[in-house]
Amino acid sequence: MDALHAKKLPLHVDAMVGTGAVRIAVKGFSEIPFSKRELDTACGLLTEAFEQGARAVSAGIMYVPECFNTREEWYALCQEAARHDRLFTFHIRGEGDGLLSSVKEVIDFARETGVRINISHFKSVGRANWKRDIYEAVSLIERSGMDITADVYPYDGGATILGSLLPPVLSAAYGERLCSALGTPEGVKALEEALDKTWEGWDNMLRAIGSKRILISSLEREENQWMIGRSLEEIVKEGNFSSEAQAIAWLMHEEDGKAGIIAFSMCPEDVEYVLSLPFTSVISDALYGGGSHPHPRLYGAFPKVIEEYVCRRKLLTLQEAVHKMSGKPAQRFGLEKRGLLREGYKADLLLFRPEEVRTGASYLDPCVEAEGMQLVFVDGKQVLN
């Protein structure tokens, strides 16, 4: 904290406290439920983070080890956030076959605890669910009467970690030894068998969209860099692997789990629908430090909305788009005197001509800066001309 305060940052930065970090601090990667004392400690860590300035809570129910939290444990964490009037942002449990049940789950959290909720990168994945489930999910939210919003990035591919393709049962079985276990014949066999089954509450992304639509985006080891930008299907063929499971196991072991992927799992029409909803904000959901081939949203999410969905497609007015990037999220997170052009507010301003905004980043060439922002002010001081 002292180092952060001593550093003069070019932009304002706010932080959320992650429930994954909290669970690991208290319980490690164990699937065993919290004891009463451990749950009290977890709630205490949330409060401590709030007192240090954490603006909200970030949770990834589909990820290890948060996927092991019981309903009662989520209720306790939500109650702690509600007590401090902090927003709780959820990467829900499932976004494919489990989308509707996962939305119902967080609606229950809001109903039982009174916590304000935001669903992170709201979407429907898996070709069998396109142009269908997202409409019912929105209906569930609107009919609930709960204080629930969502955010969306303007792409039909999402970035995540390679480990998200693994059924949680493997993490439960091997714990922190998972990556080393996947380097053994027994570990590969366990992964193959697990991927061949259906697990309640877990979406099999590999089965839902196929290996052709899963792109390797980041790896650390120099000798593996040739795989970046290639699909999992191509890697299986070019790397002489016998199956997708064997390739995934090998990469998890070789890279110690530090491998990123882009999954082309969404339908463009579904993305546009979510983007147009009155309760959604625009995000980048960008992963920084993601190697040489990050998701193009790192450089292009916000200008893409202006270029494609305001100027070219006319899906949103300029006012609607800007509000989804500024005023709406500022109000949702309780950022005082920010996000609106109003007397007495902080003058964080971008001046541009909409027709000049261009997104250079693409899936094949993602590290290209956007064009069109002519003047940038932070707190009324010019920082870019």
Q: pLDDT per residue over 264-273, tens digit each?
A: 989 999 999 9
Strand order from edge to edge, sheet including 56-60: 16-18, 56-60, 87-91, 117-119, 148-152, 280-282
Dihedral-angle region of residue 337 (phi above 0 means left; psi in -120 to 50 means alpha; beta otherwise): left
Give the pLDDT score at 150.
Answer: 98
Give the pLDDT score at 287.
Answer: 79
Give the pLDDT score at 291.
Answer: 65
Confidence of residue 196 (pLDDT cuts 50, 70, 90): very high
Confidence of residue 290 (pLDDT cuts 50, 70, 90): low
Q: Which is more confidently placed, 365 or 22?
A: 22
Question: What are the Cα distances from residue 220, in Å, to 179, 181, 233, 289, 362?
Answer: 15, 19, 20, 11, 22
pLDDT (tens digit per residue) in 333-365: 999 999 999 999 999 999 999 999 999 998 878
**What is the overall mean pLDDT for the chain?**
94
CA–CA separation, 98 and 114 (whole Å):
24
Going through 107-197 in order, the beta strands assigned E by DSSP cover 117-119, 148-152, 158-161
pTM: 0.85
What does the pLDDT average to over 233-258? 95
pLDDT (tens digit per residue) in 148-191: 999 999 999 888 889 999 998 998 888 889 999 999 999 999 99
Task: Judge whether residue 289 has pLDDT over 70.
Answer: no
Task: Judge whether residue 38 has pLDDT over 80.
Answer: yes
What does the pLDDT average to over 85-108? 96
CA–CA separation, 104 and 288 (whole Å):
31
- Measured from the Cβ of residue 9, the count of other Cβ atoms closer than 10 Å reads 9
User: What does the angle CA 185 – CA 187 – CA 193 come to, to the nearest 5 degrees?
Assistant: 100
Confidence of residue 127 (pLDDT cuts 50, 70, 90): confident
Strand order from edge to edge, sheet including 158-161: 158-161, 260-263, 214-218
For residues 350 and 344, the answer to whether their CB atoms sit within 8 Å is no
Give the pLDDT score at 24.
Answer: 97
